[in-house]
Structure 1
């Protein structure tokens, strides 16, 4: 018998003796051998901060873990860019984050190159800070992952200087209420939604968004816009929603807004529009909001095709004279139903309360 066989036999004998295997309580040598061969499981619990970095390494930032094990990093309480850079220079167990949040922070003024170390993010939200500059390489490790970038209520005077084409997954950009005075020249092949509300552009140049071929939604509310160039959005073949509410527009020139995507929606509410030219917009298929403007008449050539196509038109808050220019609408209850029950004449009479027979008698 070789040495290994002797060792196994001895081990079996020890087990038999230990468990008192005699008579009915005996365990066969085969059972004992199987007991020897069972793996020993030792469970060591992972630290409760994993997969996040160790809390003291990132203080005052805070890392939270979502149900799918993705991580969010909130660095709203940093005191300087240098502190932020130091935190992200630490060694982390994992560098792939879902979200970066910095909000209500008066200390962060510049987001410098490499400040986020090796960390990558799918969403970056830096809102209501003193941020006035984002350097070229600030988000370099998020180029392959970044999908959403929100930079609202900061002090940026121009769009981030990095090349947006290097972010092939970026589909959402919001830079609302900053200090832009010129419409940014953006180039991105993936961007679908753009919010630039609250920046004082005054003027939207022709083909302003030609560098954004995938653009579907753009919002330019509260931008002090006084005029639109002809064909401002003519190059965006997927564009389905434009909101130009709360500006200083007085008219729409021919070819100003051309929508091509499904569910076309156009917002012109709270401007100073008194005239809309025929063919000034196209592609509106769902809703058009022109409340609170200076319209006195409803040109049948402009509005009838829209309503006949099933578009819902909101008109309240305009000083309509309610003469024969609206006869085509008042006598057609189907079309009238597509402007809602709120439009009124300058004197306060609701459109729905006007007597169609008056218009049939005086406007035929």
Structure 2
């Protein structure tokens, strides 16, 4: 199955990935984000924190108080024909109320008319949305007389924003979304009036350069997104005056050739830095100096070839690192120095690694996910997870060239829940190899491997036959194995005898016992004579009298056993 689908399922299981669509964050992979494997529990916590901060900033900027001139009476919409083609509805926040205004496919004349009507009312506008309109220019004082909290002007051909066009919203505006327009430079003068702005979205525009002080005046800004512009250069002082409240910065899908090292240093409280889908080929020393509170770093879909030592050493609180979809062939043994205690989510898929970089990973004592899918790994070393595998829950190794996994490879994986090995070249995967992880494993995917239908694979048949395991199975492909006649068979449907286990194998023949009849345990996998009983039904063995009554042969055997026992044979 597709990696994105695997990660979406992991989101449901681990509740750890939260979509970044709120920032307009795009992903280059099909299926959107993995949006993030981008996304995570850490991202969920971050968004909750941002939400709380949003509320706090709202209180500080009057989000929970009435605007000037507003009365306590219930807000009322103008008549529909007065503001057509715009629409209006009343929104309630506790005992307060405000308006939600939406204008779709309107031109400047109709928009100005609707605004003139709204200015006659004293009501706060919680949301004002212009979508797919024709508004090439936002003139000065266009919003004068309005109190707007959240303003969206998207896909509306905006190319010019005059200096005083937003000045009337300086006290009330909290979020401004200008995505999908034709803006060629940051409208610094117009934005500087928005002293209470906490979120600015400039995604999908045509900005080429971030000049010095581009966001000067936005002292309480928390989230800034510039995804998919044409940014090639960022001045060292581009974020001067933006304050220390910025928590999330998205510069994904631009034209950056390198990391603007000195630019980020003032952003001491930044939590998320997104640089994916650029043209970065090298991470310089000290690139992230000063970002001591960074929680998530996204560098996927670049041209990085090497991760040298100490490049992340300043990121002492880094919890999630994504460097997949690069050209990485070499990772220094000290590549992750400095992030040993906090790094939990590491994504290195779609690179050129030919082995698991165990020496670099060994210091990561809290690693929970290791993603190495779609590399060139041919084997798993016996000590591949030694020293850092105790906390790992998810290992993704699909779409490599793995031919063999030594017996002791999984010995240190005491917490493993998911093992993804599909699309490799495995012919054998013995029960001895997987035995250390069977107690914790909830998902194993070895589909699309040339597995041989041998006794070594009987454990997998039992695992796949367990209905509880199959409920968790997310692979769309059947697990197949090949018999000696070169025919492929669905593993969990292949009869036990076709696995060619020895006749005296304890797996196939239950040991003879003279103990009294017992109740079969109600476990996830009830077994008898090597077969899995469906479901969790408790099966009671027949009593001795019933067995003897049904079989004269058993009667004779029982009699002989009693005689032999009495004579101490």
> With structure 2 as the length reference, what TM-score do the two structures score?
0.47
2-structure distance, mates of 1:223, 1:67: 42
Gaps of 5+ in 2: 1-72, 99-124, 387-407, 435-569
| TM-superposed deviation, 1:291 | 0.9
Contact persistence 2:202–2:227 (CA under 8 A): yes
Query: Is 1:66 aligned to residue 105 of structure 2?
Result: no
| TM-superposed deviation, 1:130 | 1.2
Equivalent residue in structure 2 for 1:287, among 327, 342, 345: 345
- What does 1:1-364 align with in structure 2 at a 5 Å threshold? 48-49=76-77, 65-68=90-93, 69=98, 70-82=125-137, 84-85=138-139, 88-89=141-142, 91-92=144-145, 94-95=146-147, 97-105=148-156, 107-120=157-170, 121-143=173-195, 145-159=196-210, 164-183=215-234, 185-187=238-240, 188=242, 189-258=244-313, 260=315, 262=317, 264-281=319-336, 282-283=338-339, 284-306=342-364, 308-322=365-379, 324=381, 327=384, 329=386, 331-335=409-413, 340-343=418-421, 348-349=425-426
CA pair 63-309 structure 1, distance change in 2 beyond 3 A:
same
Determine which structure has more spread, i.e. the larger CA radius of gyration.
1
2-structure distance, mates of 1:155, 1:313: 37
Contact persistence 1:157–1:181 (CA under 8 A): yes
For the residue of structure 2 that corresponds to 1:318, the secondary structure is coil
2-structure distance, mates of 1:241, 1:132: 29
For the residue of structure 2 that corresponds to 1:138, the secondary structure is helix
CA pair 231-350 structure 1, distance change in 2 beyond 3 A:
farther
| TM-superposed deviation, 1:90 | 5.9
1-structure distance, mates of 2:81, 2:165: 19
Gaps of 5+ in 1: 1-44, 358-364
2-structure distance, mates of 1:350, 1:207: 51
> With structure 1 as the length reference, what TM-score do the two structures score?
0.72
Contact persistence 1:317–1:343 (CA under 8 A): no
Contact persistence 1:114–1:139 (CA under 8 A): no
| TM-superposed deviation, 1:190 | 1.3
| TM-superposed deviation, 1:236 | 0.8
Larger CA deviation: 241-250 vs 321-330: 321-330
1-structure distance, mates of 2:217, 2:427: 54
| TM-superposed deviation, 1:233 | 0.8
CA pair 200-300 structure 1, distance change in 2 beyond 3 A:
same
Contact persistence 2:210–2:233 (CA under 8 A): no
Larger CA deviation: 237-246 vs 54-63: 54-63
RMSD: 3.4
Deviations 1:133-165 (A, max 9, x none): 23332123312x100001111111123765535
| TM-superposed deviation, 1:278 | 2.3
Deviations 1:227-254 (A, max 9, x none): 1111211211111110111111111122
Contact persistence 1:208–1:232 (CA under 8 A): no
Contact persistence 1:123–1:147 (CA under 8 A): yes
Higher relative contact order (CA 8 A, sep 6+): 1
2-structure distance, mates of 1:98, 1:226: 41
Contact persistence 1:61–1:77 (CA under 8 A): no
Q: What is the count of residue pairs matched by the alignment?
A: 302
CA pair 338-274 structure 1, distance change in 2 beyond 3 A:
farther
2-structure distance, mates of 1:348, 1:186: 50
